[in-house]
Structure formats: C-alpha cells, structure tokens
Amino acid sequence: MSQITVIYGSTTGTTQSAAMLIAGNLKARCVDIASASAEDFQAPVLILGTSTWGFGELQDDWLAKLPLLESAELSNTKTAFFGFGDQFGFADTFCDGIALLCEAALAKGAVLIGKTSTEGYAHSASRAEKDGEFCGLLLDDSNQPELTENRIKAWTEQLLKEIA
C-alpha cells in the first residue's frame, strides 16, 4: 500500500483530473470518495480534495461519505487539502468545501501540511483562509484555468518536502 492516499470527490471531473495529477506527481493511491471505505483513510499521509458547491457546500459524494472522515483515527496523520471554487462568482465562500474537510480532519487529530499563499487570488472571504494562508491548494478553473497545472506542480513539490 502506498504511503500517500489521495481521496477526492468530483461531480464534473475537474477535481478528479487534479487528483490524478497530484497522485501521479506523488506516486500515491487515488480513491474516489464515492467508492471509499474506512480503510482508505488509514495511510500515513492523506490528501483530500473537493470542489465547493452552492454557497460554500461540499461536493455531494463527500457530503454522503463525510462520516468516514469523521470516524477516522487521524492522530499524527499528515493531511493536505485541495479543491476548486469560483473566486469571483462566489467570492465570499471561495473554496469553503476545503475548509469543511480540513476542520473535520483536524478535529480527528490530523496534522495539517500543504498550506499555500493567498497571493494571486481575488476572493473576498474563504473559510479555507486562516492567518493569511490557505489550508491547502485552492484552484479556480472557472477564472484561472491556465494556472492550475503549475499550481499543482509547485504544491506537490512542497508536499514532498513537508512529508520527508
């Protein structure tokens, strides 16, 4: 079993594509939350991804399977977060879905890795932002699709250093 597991929820395929790229860069297992089990959360390093829907809500598959995360034992599990939102159309709830996953994981003892800078984003508020940093990699394929691949590359390089 890989040391790193990427678990994602995707409705349109965008988050799935990012998850596959992240998993490839990290040589990680990649699991769709729709078919995930409790065992999938038993890895030394977890990377959790979701898109944000409506006004700051989780992707539907994550919403249905959130109890798996909430019942996982994550003490000392290095955990990173990524996902998509729309920083202009939903400027005040930009990527709040990621924050929901982060809050649930931290409540279970996870160790947060993979924070990123807020520079280059034009949102007005996000639950994923704390003390001037995002709790993970926030992506906006609606407004900045040309930045997605490079942001993922830089972030996975950062994660490899934090995991080591």
- DSSP-assigned letter for residue 84: E
- Is the pTM of the predicted complex or chain greater than 0.85? yes
Question: Which residues, 6 or more positions from 146, have their beta carbon under 8 angstroms from its beta carbon?
Answer: none
Taking the domains of the chain in order of start, what are their residue ranges?
4-163
Looking at domain 4-163, does it have CATH number 3.40.50.360? yes
- Per residue in 113-142, pLDDT (tens digit) is 999 999 999 998 999 999 999 999 999 999
Alpha carbons 9 and 62: distance in angstroms, whole number? 6
What pLDDT is attached to residue 1?
46
- Per residue in 47-89, pLDDT (tens digit) is 999 999 988 899 999 999 999 999 999 999 999 999 999 999 8
CA dihedral over 118, 124, 125, 126, signed as positive or negative: negative
